[in-house]
Amino acid sequence: MWTYIVRRLILMIPTLFGVTIVSFLIMQMAPGDPQLAQLGQGGMAQTGQSREAYLLQKRDLKLDKPLILNFRYFFDYDEADRVAGYFLGRTDQQIADELPAMAESTDPAVKRRFEFLRKMKIYDFDARLADPQRRVDLAEAIRSYLKIYCEDNGVYAVADAMEILTDENSSQRMKIGMIHALDNMVVEPFVYTYSRHPSAKETPLIESTWRIWWDRAKGTFPRLDPDREKWCAGQFNEMVAEPSRAKQFEIMEGFDRDDMRFFVECLLGSSTLKEKAIASAVLRLYISRPLRSTVPLNADAQQVREVTENWVAHYDARISVYHPELVKKFWYIVSDTQYAHMVWRLVTFDFGRSALKTREPVGQKIWDAVIVTAPLVLLAEVVIYLVAVPLGIICAVNRAGSVDRLISLALFFLYSIPPFVAGMMLLLYFSFGDYLKWFPMLGLHSIGAESYGWWHYLTDYLWHATLPVICLSLFSLAGMAMYSRSSMLDVVAQDYIRTARAKGVSSTMVIMKHALRNALIPIITLFAGFLPAMLGGSVLIEVIFGIPGMGRLSWASIEQKDFPTLMALIYVQAIVVMISILLTDLLYVVVDPRISFEGQGKSTA
Amino acid sequence: MTRKKKKKKNQKRPASAPKSNLSKQPAAESVTLEKNTLNTTETSTPVASAADQMQGEAYLDIVWRQFKKNRFALWSLWLLVPIFVMAIFAPAIASNQPFLFQEGGETIFPWFRAIFHTEEVVDFVFNMAMIGFFPVLLVGLLLNRFWRNRRVPGRRRLARVLVLYVAVMIALTIVFSFDALRPSNKYRARTFTEEEFRDPENTRAVYPLIPFGPIEQDISAKFKSPGYRKPLDQIEGSNDHFIHLFGTDNTGRDVFTQMIYGTRISLTVGFVAVGIYITIGIIVGAIAGYYGGRTDMLISRIIEIVMLFPAFFLILTLVALVGPSIYIIMVIIGLTRWAPIARLIRGEVLKQRSIDYVAAASALGASNGRIIFRHILPNAMSPALVTIPFGVAGAIITEAGLSLLGFGVRPPTPSWGTLLRLGSENYEYWWLVVIPSVAMFVTVTVFNLVGSGMRDAMDPRLRM
């Protein structure tokens, strides 16, 4: 049996792989910009997030990566970088003035540059090029297209860009352009403070950043007198001991710019992570722009040199990212893609955050819905078992009699009512208007149910749940009753039942004691089949009855285009179905000792 | 599990092995047999195929006789007739275009022009079916006589006429889809109403039974309950005074008319979706079962993956992504539900493959395709065919559910689900809930009953 289980689990791996591919395809099929879709479409404009925040989010979701295979580390970005540097280093007017000459130039370098522009399929390129009035317009378009190009090829193009930037032969203008290109390629190049949960990995980056700044700015900070230094140390220790962030911040505001000398020493010298984190936070508070990542277009040589140094430092600190080893480059072909990242997130059950404005964690959302749906489906299941099994047995006992026919027919009609139609009719009849008003229209709890005692709360819940449970159980009722009927018939035909009857046992006794236990075996195994329903719920019924469960969550996420939630839902439900199928098979073995999986694998494989 | 297996082994015998079945038939069958032999000798078709036909016919006879025993199934088969009549003759029952319109000395026939100009393609195809119905009936009656003289058995005659009908329908649809060939609808923009009503002496209009169109709005009669009749002083047109048998909806459209036209949408979605997935399922399942080995392994995995996704949720997602439209719904239902059929067919084909006639066919040099489609599938297909009525019912429910959620048929096209959606928004308009609900219940029950009758007839072991 264990081999069987292991084999089934191994077979699950390709199936899971297929599931992820299907979810991925669904994501990519989504109309419009998938990046915007995942980030929440209208969200950006409405909440006024800055462009930088948008880019950061995009990077976190790995949406700047290629879809399936990533060969970008093997591309030569030299030419592209040069084009980007050329155009980003000029103003729109300058570009507009140069464009006509460029179009007619025979210089191969210029020609290539022009071809590159054409390949980007800028809207209305030729018409705008021909019309002197619209050339500035075109120049603006070119620059924004190039900026997007830089963003999309971010990490991969940096190495070549740095080469051009540090090249002695590059012109001043090209360097300025290159700096602009780099600024678009890399979001937040310099790290000043630790993240919310500081880790030692961040230390070198932060230290190197502040060190560069300190080397430059050292002269402007006078030496502190010992009293002041002692006071700073006292405050600093207090901050380190203080657990509340708000209090820490209060103390932070009491310092002076000149005290920063102390904190730089703290940061670069002290040992514990916590101290470093606080020191860096204080520094960030008082130093508004420690390192520049960009320069104005008319910058002088000194500014360019300074920013270049910054970029070189940044590049050196992250050389393994920008210029990985060859082996890693090959590994990144498959691992550094949108698909791979998605699979990894799904496998680790890290579903991220909802695309809605609330930015709720998807896992939390799903859990909140599951605890609503699961009890409801469980109740429905109990109802199904309590009603269907006795009905099936009655049918089986009176086989082909009038009772059997009547019940079968009634069940057949019940089976033919679509559950949502039944739900609407029940609501109309029992809840709406002044007619009967036996049950509430919407929801699972009365308003203010939280303050009820547990008994009141429970009865209130049951009162609300009656109609939904009836609808949920209608459909499966007939199937289950028929299943238990045929299972009972099978058992009744067995020899040992005849023996029991021959012995003179009363027919009620035969059914209840001998037949029922064996007839229940296949019925019990169906229990696991309800698992998917328990986690999936029913979309239509939950929508009709206004129940905030899984079904409504799926509907809402579809309607609001909340793709992270949608993908997580599809994935979770697929997994649950898989598990329930396995469980059903295993339950068979556990419940019925006559069945074993020996030799099963050979015939199926 | 052992129990299951035993059951399966026995249950498929009558369906899957008609040849062995035939030889074991009691004397009562010999009459049909004789008839068939006579027929085939007279039409002088090649012996081999004649034998094939003869046996197929005998099997259908058995199925039909079994089916007739089930009274409910037989009744519901008859109940299908009004449903189809309603769908095909919808404009003849309900339309706001008069059959005949006289004004002064001029007589025009707007209805006959209007049926060539519809908003929805489904409506157009059904209208063509309506046009073709009586000619085909006439031809069918003549052919029936002719074929009866040549001793073509009854059900085959019926089947041939049905095929002819479908062919005529398709031909008419293609022919009249060219703008130049259909009569222009120059009266469409015209209201047949005001001047006619004001001058009743000189004008005369003959309307269909229900003089309301499926997309004819009347803002002044929103949400009127069943039995509503417009008071005389508010009337603007000649068809206005007619009773709204089932009330009106949010734009004042007649619910009865919408129900009739909604039948077309429901039936189309049902049959086309099922047609798509049965076809896919049969082909995929046959390939998996026949070739076995790695192909089977791969296809089985794919089937497993498709079956893992909750069907309705997947359909909902895809429809929401691709965009709501009935054609997309049909295709998506078709593309997501084939897996169980494929699995069923795979199992059947696996069983058939080891029977001697397959070896015989391949020994005679038949190609794989021929063996699968001409030899194995006719014997293996019946369990899949049995699911058709259930599938149609399921697809109708799914379409209505999607429309209820707002992902289904686009609003101007009338459909049952759209009416339900309106009703679910406010239960005060109870007729918008009750009427489509009852219609759906009846339709679904009828299809389910036919399905269970078919299953019992083809597969007595499966009988509940």
Side chain identity at residue A354, one-letter code: S
Question: B340-399, pLDDT tens digit by residue?
Answer: 999 999 998 998 888 899 999 999 988 988 999 888 988 888 888 889 999 999 999 999
Give the H/E segment covering residue B103: strand B100-103
**Residue in chain A nearest B321 by alpha carbon:** A30
End-to-end Cα separation, chain A, in angstroms: 16
Per-residue pLDDT at B282: 93
pLDDT at A98: 81
Interface touch A540/B397, C-beta < 8 Å: no
Chain A residues near residue B339 by CB distance under 8 angstroms: none
Distance CA B44, CA A457 (A): 81
Residue pLDDT, tens place only, B129-181? 999 999 999 999 999 999 988 888 877 888 899 999 999 999 999 999 888 88
**Matching residue, tokens 């004649």:** B50
Which run of H or E residues covers position B102?
strand B100-103
Residue A167 identity: D
How far are the Cα atoms of A37, A137, A307, A535 from residue A33, in angstroms, in the given order?
A: 6, 24, 34, 31
pLDDT for res B396: 92
**3-class DSSP state of B107:** strand
Neighbours of A168 (CB within 10 A): 4
B244: left (phi over 0), alpha (psi -120 to 50) or beta: beta
Q: Does the pLDDT at position B84 exceed 90?
A: yes
CB contact under 8 A, B433 and A428: yes
What's the whole-number average pLDDT of chain B?
A: 80
Q: Both tokens of residue A388?
A: 């269907």
Q: How far is A119 from chain B (nearest CA, A)?
A: 30
Instruction: Please state the rounded mean pLDDT for residues B235-251.
Output: 78
Cβ <8 Å between A416 and B393: yes
H or E stretch covering A260 = helix A260-269
- Name residues 44-73 of chain B within 8 A of A (Cβ): 72
Residue B188: its pLDDT value, please? 54
Helices (H) and strands (E) in chain B, counts: 22, 3
Q: What is the pLDDT of residue B165?
A: 94
Q: Residue B60: pLDDT above 80? A: no
Count of residues in chain A: 605
Other CB atoms closer than 10 Å to residue A76's CB: what's the count?
9
* Type of residue found at A377: V
* CA–CA separation, A465 and A457 (whole Å): 12
How many CA atoms within 13 Å lie on the side-chain side of A553? Answer: 27
Write b or e for each residue in A480-503: b if 16 or more Cβ atoms lie within 10 A of its Cβ, otherwise e: bbbbbbbbbbbbbeeeebeebeee
Q: Could you tell me the CA-to-CA distances from A357 to A46, A312, A353, B252 in Å, in that order?
A: 9, 38, 10, 38
- Structure tokens belonging to residue B15: 């369906």
> Which neighbouring-strand residues pair with B107?
B102
> Token pair for residue A302?
């000194």
Q: Which of these ranges, A276-290, B23-37, B99-113, B403-417, has the smallest mean pLDDT?
A: B23-37
List the single range of A354-368, A394-408, B387-401 with lowest mean pLDDT: A354-368
Which residues of B are less than 8 Å from A421 in CB distance? 400, 420, 437, 440-441
Residues of chain A contacting B449 with CB distance shorter than 8 Å = 412
User: ipTM score of the complex?
Assistant: 0.79
The C-alpha of A497 sits at a distance from chain B's nearest C-alpha, in angstroms, of 17
Residues in A closer than 8 angstroms to B1, CB to CB, are 588, 595
**How many Å lie between the alpha carbon of A549 and the closest alpha carbon of chain B?**
14
Binning pLDDT at 50, 70 and 90, where does residue B193 land? Answer: low
Chain B nearest-CA residue for A536: B310
* Rounded percentage of chain A residues whose pLDDT exceeds 70: 92
Closest CA to B417 of A540, A470, A536, A415: A540
- What pLDDT does residue B161 have? 92
Backbone angles phi, psi at B206, to 5 degrees: -110, 115
Helices (H), A356-427: 362-397, 402-416, 419-426
Non-local CB neighbours of A129 within 8 Å, separated by 6+ positions: A99, A100, A103, A135, A138
**Residue A344: pLDDT over 50:** yes
Nearest chain A residue (CA) to B444: A416
- Answer yes or no: is pLDDT of B443 > 90: yes
Kindly state the average pLDDT of the residues A66-84: 78
A contacts of B321 (beta carbons < 8 Å):
26, 29-31
pLDDT cut 90: percent of chain B above it: 31
> E-assigned strands of A28-69?
none
pLDDT of residue A603: 42
The angle formed by the CA atoms of residues A521, A522 and A524, to the nearest 5 degrees, is: 70
pLDDT tier for residue B2 given thresholds of 50, 70 and 90? very low
Nearest CA-CA distance, residue B444 and chain A, Å:
6
In angstroms, the Cα distances linking B164 to A83, B139, B170 are 67, 10, 10
Q: What is the pLDDT of residue A35?
A: 52
Taking the CA atoms of residue B121, residue B125, residue B127 and residue B129 in that order, the dihedral angle to the nearest 10 degrees is: -170
Q: What is the mean pLDDT of chain A?
A: 80
Within 8 A by CB and 6+ apart from B96, the residues are: B207, B211, B212, B213, B216, B239
Q: For B423-433, what is each residue's pLDDT tens digit?
A: 888 888 889 99
Confidence of residue A214 (pLDDT cuts 50, 70, 90): confident
What pLDDT digit, counting tens, does each position of A12-46 carry? 888 888 888 877 777 776 655 555 555 544 444 44
Count CB pairs under 8 A between chains A and B. Answer: 120
- In A, minimum Cα distance to B301 occurs at A15
Percent of chain A beyond pLDDT 90? 1
Asked if the model's pLDDT at residue B438 lies above 90, the reply is yes
- Write the pLDDT tens digit of every residue in A575-603: 888 888 888 888 877 777 776 665 544 44
Measured CA to CA, the distance from residue B372 to residue B381 in angstroms comes to: 11
Report the pLDDT value the prediction gives residue B192, as an integer from 0 to 100.
Answer: 55
Mutate to test the interface with B, among A41, A434, A467, A540 (most CBs of B within 10 A): A540
What does the alpha-carbon distance between residue A103 and residue A167 come to, in Å, rounded to a whole number? 28
CB contact under 8 A, B420 and A26: no
- Within 13 A of B153's CA, how many CA atoms are on the CB side? 20
* Mean pLDDT, residues A188-197 taken together: 78
Contact B441 A417 (CB under 8 A): yes
- Token reading at A489: 């018939």
For A543-579, what is each residue's pLDDT tens digit?
A: 888 888 898 998 888 888 777 788 888 888 888 888 8
The answer to whether B233 and B116 are in contact (CB under 8 A) is: no
* Residue A50, φ and ψ in degrees, nearest 5: -75, 165
By the 8 A CB rule, do B423 and B433 touch? Answer: yes
CB contact under 8 A, B401 and A588: no
Quick check: B448 contacting A, CB < 8 Å? yes
Higher pLDDT, B1 or A96: A96
Q: Running DSSP on this structure, what letter comes out for residue B409?
A: S
**One-letter amino acid of B264:** R
List CB contacts (< 8 A) between A13 and chain B: none
Region A512-526 average pLDDT: 80
Contact between B185 and B113 under an 8 Å Cβ cutoff? The reply is yes
Q: How far apart are CA A235 and CA A237, in angstroms?
A: 5
CA distance A209 to A312: 11
Distance from C-alpha of A193 to C-alpha of A592, rounded to nearest angstrom: 63
Query: CA-CA distance, A595 to A590, in Å (whole number)?
Result: 9
Instruction: Identify the pLDDT of residue B64.
Output: 82
Q: What is the pLDDT of residue B3?
A: 44
- On whether the CB atoms of residues B215 and B414 are closer than 8 A, the answer is yes
DSSP string, A124-164: THHHHHH-GGGHHHHHHHHHHHHHHHHHHTHHHHHHHHHHH
List the beta bridge partners of residue B248: B254
CA angle B333, B335, B341 (to 5 degrees): 95
- Which residue is associated with the tokens 């190495």? A159
CB neighbours (10 Å) of residue B96?
25
CA closest to B3 among chain A residues: A490
